[in-house]
Amino acid sequence: MALWTAEEIAAATGGTASGPFQCAGVEIDSRDVRSGDLFVALKGEATDGHRFIDKAFAAGAAAALVSEPIDRPHVLVADTGDALAKLAAAARARADAVRVGVTGSVGKTGVKEAIFAALDRASRGAAHRSVRSYNNHVGVPLSLARMPARSRYGVFEMGMNHAGEIAALTRHVRPHVAVVTTIAPAHIENLGSEEAIADAKAEIFAGLAEGGTAVIPADSVHYDRLLVHARQAGAKVIAFGRAAHADARLMDAIPSANGGALVTADIAGTRLCYSVAEPGDHWIMNSLAVMAAVHAAGGDLAAAGLALAEMGGLKGRGARHRVAVPGGHALLIDESYNANPASMRATLRQLGQTPATRRVAVLGSMKELGDFAAGFHGQLVEPLAEARVDHAVLVGDEMRSLAVELRRELGKGAAGLLAAPLTFAHCDGPGEAIAALEEFGLAGGDAILVKGSNSVGLGRLVAHFVDRGR
């Protein structure tokens, strides 16, 4: 079955079709167009999608959504951005799908993927989700426009940099279940405080469909704040965490040999035991959010448990690579896509729990911290010490604050936080970091964590060592 016909696109957008055609997908980047796609020629401040129409059709596009007439199959509209939003609304209206929205300062992409895996398994392939991190004012309507009419579930990630952005995104999705993974000082440069971040994330509740459910972290210091927002929106509330008042409550977690955990939890009065493949305490908490969301969506908790047991790390978000190095193999943990103070601490804690001969941390700058940047970077000395890191490669200008603090602590000797000696290097960019890591000399049995904001470019370092070690 076609995803969209010319008649359906025209009816949804108020545009005029050049003639009959069918489309199998929707795409906004000509480089990603596949055979049968509808290419949406968006106009932005820096570029105009109409310039890439020939490339889109050369790649196999079936038609284009345009605001300028062309001599190819198309639907002509006044504004392609507005038309994409209308196409998204039509997709939402025609599919009898339970929609789940996911936001939060940390973990939203992984939680979104896990919820999708659980619901897709239970519905035998009738679940849909936003791919990659398509979580902004373009990515969310694009993800909705791609949702097949037969979908039983839709899972959508929502991100933000400023107040008001989540409110706009949740109006697109109108979720039946709205999940906030956690609140942490990501984007604090723009919002000023964690309380303001919590308020901005809580905007997701304002878009809830009637009778919708808010899933919130019970252990967060901002729990009461989130609870107020959820109740003001008329939402049912499911809290997840360790706290006694949690509805999805952790009872016990036993580390497993593969680095994950065997979790026992009470989910709304049902005692469950399931495995989590992803390592780290933060994934135990994530699993509770997943279970709470699946329960609220009317999904199968047993299928959710199986999905969590099979989850592998995502590229840039926890993927683990076995890299050939002198003396055997090293473990490289790829967390190069994103970083903020909370996720830095969580992944360093995970590194400290990873069996290794030596532990190496390649840490890139955490962006969007504004005036708080120096303090948050400098405070990483303690989690580095607790993780028993042997060598650190610090990348980016903001990491100078951590370098200064490390020198200060090393100067204190046994009286400082660093009871064990730690060596480190500071680099301006990923090229220098690769050279610094080569000079340090990786060896068999090493565990290397690579963590930083995406703009630092540490994905290049990951690719260098992974490709070389194949």
- Per domain, the residue ranges of the chain are 4-81, 95-310, 319-468
Rounded percentage of the chain residues whose pLDDT exceeds 70: 98
Predicted local distance difference test score (pLDDT) of residue 279? 86
319-468: in CATH 1.10.10.10: no
Predicted local distance difference test score (pLDDT) of residue 280? 84
Residue 36 binned pLDDT confidence (cut-offs 50, 70, 90): very high
CA 294/CA 122 separation, integer angstroms: 10
Predicted local distance difference test score (pLDDT) of residue 344? 93
- With a cut of 60, say whether residue 469 has pLDDT above it: no
Model confidence pTM above 0.85? no
Strands 63-66 and 98-103: unpaired
Residue 134 binned pLDDT confidence (cut-offs 50, 70, 90): confident
Written out in words, the top-level CATH class of the domain with range 95-310 is: alpha beta
Predicted local distance difference test score (pLDDT) of residue 315? 78
Please enumerate in sequence order all residues whose Cβ is within 8 A of that of 112, keeping only pairs 6 or more positions apart, or say none. 102, 129, 130, 155, 156, 157
Predicted local distance difference test score (pLDDT) of residue 421? 77
Could you tell me which of 72, 64, 60 has the C-alpha nearest to residue 48? Answer: 64
Could you tell me which of 47, 48, 79, 49 has the C-alpha nearest to residue 61? Answer: 49
Pair of tokens at residue 433: 């970091």
- Which is higher by pLDDT, 106 or 306? 306
CA 88/CA 142 separation, integer angstroms: 7
Do 109 and 316 contact (CB within 8 A), yes or no?
no
Average pLDDT of 429-448? 95
Predicted local distance difference test score (pLDDT) of residue 418? 76
Residue 325: strand, helix, or coil:
strand
Predicted local distance difference test score (pLDDT) of residue 1? 63
The helix (run of H) or strand (run of E) holding residue 128 is: strand 127-129
Q: In DSSP terms, which residues pair with 226 in a beta bridge?
A: none
Q: What is the DSSP letter of 18?
A: S
4-81: in CATH 3.20.20.70: no
Average pLDDT of 441-447? 95
Per-residue pLDDT reduced to its tens digit, 142-166: 999 999 999 999 999 999 888 999 9
For the beta carbon of residue 97, count every other beta carbon within 10 angstroms. 24
Residue 189 binned pLDDT confidence (cut-offs 50, 70, 90): confident
Predicted local distance difference test score (pLDDT) of residue 470? 59
